[in-house]
Amino acid sequence: MLSIFSGLKLILPNIIPPAYEEMITGQDVVIRFLSAENLPTMDLLGGADPYFIAKFEDEISYMSTIQSNTLSPKWVDEEWIVRNIPHNAKLTVFVYDKDDNSLNDDFIGQFEIGDLPNYKSLPEGHQILDSNGGDRGHFHLTIESVESPESSKKLPRYTFDGPCRYTRHSSPIAGYLTMLNKDNVYSTWKINLRRISVWFRPHDRQPWNRQYRIAQTIFDGSARSVTKQNAFKLAHKMLYGRTIKNNQMGRLNNVNDLWTLIFSDEKTKRIRSCIYTYIINDNTWRFSETGVGYFTDFASKHALHANCCESVLYAGQFHPRPRFGWDRCDDEWELVFDNWSGTYAPCLDLLKNLKDLLEFNFPGLNVVTYDFKNPLLRESMDKLKIAQGKFKTNSSSNHN
């Protein structure tokens, strides 16, 4: 039908209703966020810690890094690629001042851009306006917009297409409670993944498991569940909230970056042998280390990763392992994923979609998937735990 209407558009341009034309056309955009200048003083000491959130309507958003103690921030490598956007879509950029000592960050101002297909950069930048229309500085960016090719038109609207960026938040408080490492730091990771909506459509969402007693205590709408949700949401904010301190952010350009920047210990440079819980939701993959301790179990709950969403795209556990056995840790590694989540009880059939999604985002990544009932999964996890014990013994011997 698209090719027929495309031909009709050339012959009878006034016949196709504008609303339908908007449905069958789109644009791909590449936005590079550059800098801002003349931002107002937001702190008593005369500075600001600015960051921004960019949105296309309420469909998709992008949050930047935080620039510390400056009124003229410059953002490096802040790029956002979105495909199959309607021609009438509007981009809105909200600028904030980060305040680690407050529940809410200070709103500096915002600006809006329409008519993206004909956008031209403004030499003076876009004026940032506060809620009363007052001048709050200027913002510089570039936008490249092209008509969506047929490959992009097959994608869902507002498809995020990169780059893959990650955020690691390290909490000393959670680290002290979980006691998982000598540094007393507990980390959560969030990775933006390209084209999640291709492999996990909205109708594929996994609702909370109504047959699971613990899930009932979180989502059944009772007073007890409201209290529990508030606790999870507070913990989610503590473990995932972006702060000036205790944050590491960057870009993952290939599978080697994934192994080096995400799964390797910063000091030993060795891949960490541990089990993670994860959820896939919106455009992100979120995860943290899990364990048998009370606080570790709580901090790695799927409901906590999901900020108490009643449904997610997928959930489970995963762990890294040497592809050819634990006596060959210097050789290739792989990630082993399962659907082990009582809270969301994800569909087994979608494990293949998860594998395809991750291997698309990180070409060369070896992904193995098991149903949580598969005895091969238990065998793999048992071998990992044995390896953990050996590593700890060797580390202790070397230290002494």
Co-location of 226 and 285 in the same domain = yes
CA 66 to each of CA 120, 137, 171, 254: distance values in angstroms, whole numbers, following the listed order: 26, 17, 17, 24
**What is residue 344's predicted lDDT score, i.e. its pLDDT?**
97
d(CA 275, CA 61): 30
Name 366's Cβ contacts closer than 8 Å, sequence gap at least 6: 323, 332, 333, 334, 335
Co-location of 251 and 334 in the same domain = yes
Co-location of 220 and 342 in the same domain = yes
Co-location of 356 and 313 in the same domain = yes
Co-location of 139 and 56 in the same domain = yes
Co-location of 220 and 308 in the same domain = yes
Quick check: is 4 in a domain? Answer: no
**What is residue 42's predicted lDDT score, i.e. its pLDDT?**
80
**What is residue 305's predicted lDDT score, i.e. its pLDDT?**
97
| Domain interval for residue 126 | 26-160
Co-location of 123 and 258 in the same domain = no
Co-location of 71 and 181 in the same domain = no
Co-location of 214 and 252 in the same domain = yes
CA 391 to each of CA 38, 256, 313, 322, 333: distance values in angstroms, whole numbers, following the listed order: 53, 23, 35, 14, 17
Find out whether 34 and 142 touch, Cβ atoms under 8 Å. yes
Q: Of 143, 160, 177, which residue is a domain's last?
A: 160
Q: Which residues pair with 60 in a beta bridge?
A: 56
Looking from the CA of 80 toward its CB, the CA atoms found within 13 Å total 26
Number of domains in the chain: 2
Quick check: is 234 in a domain? Answer: yes
Which stretches of the chain score pLDDT less than 70? 1-24, 391-400
Q: Of 160, 193, 208, which residue is a domain's last?
A: 160
Sign of CA dihedral 8, 14, 17, 19: positive
Quick check: is 90 in a domain? Answer: yes
d(CA 34, CA 143): 11
Co-location of 220 and 135 in the same domain = no
Q: Of 100, 125, 160, which residue is a domain's last?
A: 160
User: Beta strands 367-370 and 333-338: pairing type?
Assistant: parallel
The CATH number given to whatever domain includes residue 38 is 2.60.40.150
**What is residue 178's predicted lDDT score, i.e. its pLDDT?**
82
Quick check: is 8 in a domain? Answer: no
User: Beta strands 27-37 and 165-171: pairing type?
Assistant: unpaired
pTM given for the model: 0.89
Co-location of 108 and 121 in the same domain = yes
Tokens representing 212? 């699971």
Quick check: is 16 in a domain? Answer: no
Find out whether 79 and 64 touch, Cβ atoms under 8 Å. no
**What is residue 208's predicted lDDT score, i.e. its pLDDT?**
97
Q: What is the 3-state secondary structure (H, E, C) of the chain?
A: CHHHHHHHHHHCCCCCCHHHHHHHCCEEEEEEEEEEECCCCCCCCCCCCEEEEEEECCCEEEECCCCCCCCCCEEEEEEEEEEEECCCCCEEEEEEECCCCCCCCEEEEEEEECCHHHCCCCCCCEEEECCCCCEEEEEEEEEEEEECCHHHHCCCCCEECCCCEEEEEEEHHHHHHHCCCCCCCEEEEEEECCCHHHHCCHHHCEECCCCCHHHHHHHCCCHHHHHHHHHHHHHHHHHHCCCCCCEEEEECCCHHHHHHHHCECCCCCCECCCCEEEEEECCEEEEEECCCCHHHHHHCCHHHHCCCCCEECEEEEEEEEECCCCCCCCCCEEEEEECCCCCCCCCHHHHHHHHHHHHHHCCCCCEEEECCCCHHHHHHHHHHHHHHHHHHHHHHHHHC
Co-location of 153 and 179 in the same domain = no
